[in-house]
Structure 1
Amino acid sequence: MQVIWDLEKAFVKDAIEHLPDPKPHYNTIATLMKRLEEKGYLAHTEYGGSYEYYPIIGKENYKQTFMKKVLNTFFDNSYFNMLAYFAKEEKISPEEMKELVKMIEKDKK
């Protein structure tokens, strides 16, 4: 999705050009873009049998949808479980945890 947002619209070959090496196979990216379209994230315009894809969902909406799925799938729909995981795995520093607590307390006021 990031490549499509960056390019604003792209054929499969354009998307592949903007990916890091090693480049994935053309069919892999074509299938991925088709699946993203089926899920309602992309749409396309057809030019003589070639599809130029463009995003129909913004980054923020995509992020919210993605994070809801992650939260539900891996953390039993619990923000506490998610934050506890990152704390236990030391993926978040004590300073960052304090900042999160401040943000939560501020929002409750």
Structure 2
Amino acid sequence: MQKLTKAEEDVMQLLWEVDRGTVSDLLEHCPEPKPPHSTVSSVVRILEKKGFVGHKAYGKTHEYFPLVEREMYGRRSLGDLLRNYFDGSVPRLVSHLAEEEKLSKSDLDEMLRMLDNENQK
């Protein structure tokens, strides 16, 4: 699976949110300031070439839909993050999140509970 640029990820997030739609539909869900229609259209076509997006044509109108699931892309991105920034170490990632105060005590407690459940299997 290819890595996406920031702009491509932004458009994929919109498409995952709406599930399927035209470029105009995607623009309706874009935060301000909205990019030009032509920019979103170009990014969608690039995503289609990369195999992330498919379309169905209705005359001159194209309805786009994701071919890659959000969860699948998220898993791959998390794996890349672990390898590239934390040497593949989950404890280093968790330590970083805790140090940056991105994890609450309840988050840590939940993680420990999940690990305990996995160990009991």
Aligned length: 109
Cα distance in 1 for partners of 2:88, 2:42 equals 30
C-alpha RMSD of matched pairs (Å): 2.2
Equivalent AA in structure 1 for residue 53 of structure 2: L
1:68 corresponds to 2:79 = yes
Given candidates 2, 26, 46, the residue that maps to 1:15 is 26
2:17 is matched with which residue: 2, 6, 17? Answer: 6
The AA in structure 1 aligned to 2:87 is D
User: TM-score normalised to the size of structure 1?
Assistant: 0.78
Gaps of 5+ in 1: none
- Name the TM-score, length of structure 2 as normaliser: 0.72
Within 5 A, what are the aligned runs for 1:28-39? 28-39=39-50
* SS of the residue 1:34 aligns to: helix
Matched, 1:25 2:21: no
Aligned pair in 2 of structure 1 residues 73, 39: CA closer, same or farther (>3 Å)?
farther
| Structure 2 counterpart of 1:73, one-letter code | N
- Paired with 1:95 and 1:14, the residues of 2 have a C-alpha distance of 38
Query: Which secondary structure does the structure 1 equivalent of 2:68 belong to?
Result: coil
